[in-house]
Every structure is written in structure tokens, then in C-alpha cells.
Amino acid sequence: MTASEPQKAHEQLRRQREVLADFGLFAFRCDDMDGLLHRATELVSEALGVPLVKVLEHRPERGEMLVRSGVNWQEGVVGRETFGDHEKSPGGYALKADGPVVSPDLDLEDRFETPDVLRRHGVMSMVNVVIAGEDAAFGVLEVDARERRDFGDDEVAFLRTYANLLAAAIERLRTHDELRRSVREQGLLARELGHRVRNVLGLVRALASRTSAEGRTAEEFRAAFIERLHALSVAEGLVFASTDERVDPEVLAREVLAPYRQDGPARLVIDGVSVRLSARQARMFGLALHELATNAMKHGALGVPDGSVRLDWHIEDAEETQRRLSMTWQEANGPEITPPERKGFGTRLLEDVVAHELNGEAELDYARRGLTYRLRFQLEGDQT
């Protein structure tokens, strides 16, 4: 050993400590992942006096490790070159080893194979350390020397500290990104909610102004309006409660028709398959059921002791893309009925609004033996 060697070693240690401090501060202030990783490889290269340094990002879903960042590599390597994440690649081996892997002479290395791109760059020895992550490792920090070189304990310790500092900085940036995204989403959601509230208020206004006040006392008007509002709010409530804004008509029918089934379910039988209605379809379906039930109570089968109603629906010709729902409301054993003289809001809703909104057909048949209402409309979106 020459006299200058301890001095050189001392100088190198001092330099490594400086690099750690510099990088720590840089990482703390940096808010760009690519900038962070690039600076990381630059400083490691400088501190160890090794030109080729890279960060491999593990992409488990693709079974590969991408050269995410690096210094002094030929064009086309950084951001492009990938290695398998299996044990036969240096990076994959480091991930599994879960500790620093030193390879002082790649010609003698038998734990993994040397990728062509490293041979092309004349790499003879290497040391790899894992960059940890919150759930799984982010990847591997690789230092590649062009000469045979035994990386000493101090150098390996430096790299481990460095990689851990880098891991913390990466995690911090990821959390920042997630927070930023979530703040953006919150803002969008709040605005979307604002539109929805305004739309629902528009519907409430329409229900209030279309509920006839003619020939009614204020109390009767209030009752009629509040019942319609109830049907709308049941449907709206179910839309809000579901995670995908879809509503099962059976749940909806049971809730809207509950006041008419207090004498037992036989009075108003509900029999239908489980499907998924969109928000708009659910609102219209709920309003239609309410109009039918309140009408049956006043003029039809639900107004007499022996009368009954059967509500059923099924899917017509179950072709994958064009599935239509066919619903029937059939009253039986009620009083003799006659068509109303003028078309009130209830009739308009059942015949025009519901059919239009659902892009389907509605048919209201005032047969003497009991009213029949048929509704056919196309189901929207995925039904599975």
C-alpha cells in the first residue's frame, strides 16, 4: 500500500458523504420523478467514479425491468431497454436476493447471465442494490464498471444508504401524485354533483308545476305532490347508494310500492328478473309505478277488497346487444273502469314521458276487466 492510498480512501468517503447530503436535499425539493432518478444516477456515478449507472424499474405486470434512468449509456437504452425480472437477469436476481449483490468479475459470474447491452458497453463488474417500495420494491440501482473491481464494504454501504434515500423520495413523489390526482377528482365530483342537484331540482319543479291544482284542495294537492316526490326520491336514493349508479327494478318496485302492499304481498305481486337500470331509467320506472299504484287505489283494483295487481317484467329475446325489458302491470277483480275524459299528468307520464325517456313503447289499456299497462324498453349498458 502506498502512502497516498489511505488518503484517497478518506477523500472518497468524504465525497460519498457529501453526495448523500446533496442528494437528500435535492430529493426533498424535487417534484419530478424523471429529474429525481436522473440526478440520482449522476451523483452515484460521480461519487464512485464509475461511469455507467442506471435505475431499473420493476414492472411485475409485464414481468420485466425497464431502464428507467441512467448516465453514460448509448442512445436507445434509457427509457427503452428492458430485462426479464427472473433470477437469470442481474436485476431480477437482486430483487430476489433482497440485499446488495456484488459481482467483481462478470466472466466468472454463475448466478445470473450478463445481458448483451452490458457486454456492448464493456461492463466487467457490477453491484446492484434494491430500491425499496411501500408495497413491493420499486426496482434496482445498478452500478456497472468497465474493469474488474471488487466493490468494498464502504462502497456497498454507501449504495444501500443511497438507495434507501432514493426509495423514500420516490414514495414521496408517488404520494404527491396520488394526492394531486385525488384533489382533481374531488373537484370534478363536486362540480358533477352540483349539476346533478340542479337537474333533480328541475325534475322536482316539473313535478310540482305539472301536479294539477284544479279541483283540489291545498291539502290534496300537497299529498299528490309529495307522493310523486317520494317516488322520485326513492329512485334517486337508490342511484346514489349504488356504486355504479345502477338500480335493480325489483328493489325499486318494492320500495315505491311498499305503501300499497301493507295488506300483504298477494294484493300486489311483484315478479321480475334482476337487471340493472340506468339512473334515468330508474327515475322514470319509479315514477311510472307510483302513478299506476295511486291510480289503482283511486279508480282501480287496489280500491276494492278483492282486487289485486300483478307486476312482472322479463327480458325479451336475450340477444347480447339489444336486450329489451318487457314490463306488465295487470289489474284484476277491480271495479269496472272507463278511460279518463281528459289526459292528466299521470296519463301523460305513463304514455308519453316514460316511453320517450326510456326510448321504448308504452300502452295503457282501460279494459273493463282491469287496467293493463305495458312498457317495453331497451336496457342500457352492461347487464352482467
Partner 1 sequence: MNHDMRATLSGKRVLVVDDEWLIALDVQDIIEGLGCSVMGPVASASAALELISTDPPDCAVLDVHILNGTSEPIAAALQKRGCPFVVVTAYQRSHLTGALCDAPMLIKPIDERELERTLAGLVR
Cell numbers at 250, concatenated: 325489483
In the set 78, 140, 145, 353, which binds partner 1 (CB under 8 A)?
353
Q: Contact between 195 and partner 1 (CB under 8 A)? A: yes
What does the DSSP assignment read for 192-245?
Answer: HHHHHHHHHHHHHHHHHHHS--TT--HHHHHHHHHHHHHHHHHHHHHHHHSTTS
Q: Contact between 376 and partner 1 (CB under 8 A)? A: no
CB-based contact 351:292 (threshold 8 Å) = no
Residue closer to partner 1, measured from CB, 166 or 284:
284
In the set 25, 157, 189, 201, which binds partner 1 (CB under 8 A)?
201
CB-based contact 41:23 (threshold 8 Å) = no
C-beta of 201: minimal distance to partner 1 in Å? 4
The residue with cell 319543479 is 205
In the set 199, 259, 273, 363, which binds partner 1 (CB under 8 A)?
199
C-beta of 315: minimal distance to partner 1 in Å? 24
Cell numbers at 117, concatenated: 447491452
Residues linked to residue 378 through DSSP beta bridges, in sequence order: 324
- Give every CB contact of residue 90 below 8 A, 6+ residues apart in sequence: 83, 101, 103, 112, 114, 115, 118, 126, 128, 140, 142
Q: Contact between 275 and partner 1 (CB under 8 A)? A: no
Which residue from 84, 78, 81, 80 is spatially nearest to 64, judged by alpha carbons? Answer: 84
Binding mask 135-174 for partner 1 (x = CB under 8 A): ----------------------------------------
Instruction: Pick the piece of the chain touching partner 1 (CB under 8 A) from 63-71, 156-164, 205-213, 236-244.
Output: 205-213
C-beta of 357: minimal distance to partner 1 in Å? 5
Q: Contact between 343 and partner 1 (CB under 8 A)? A: no
Q: Contact between 348 and partner 1 (CB under 8 A)? A: yes
Residues linked to residue 144 through DSSP beta bridges, in sequence order: 52, 126
Q: Contact between 177 and partner 1 (CB under 8 A)? A: no
Interface residues with partner 1 (CB under 8 A)? 194-196, 198-199, 201-207, 209-210, 280, 287, 348-349, 352-353, 356-357
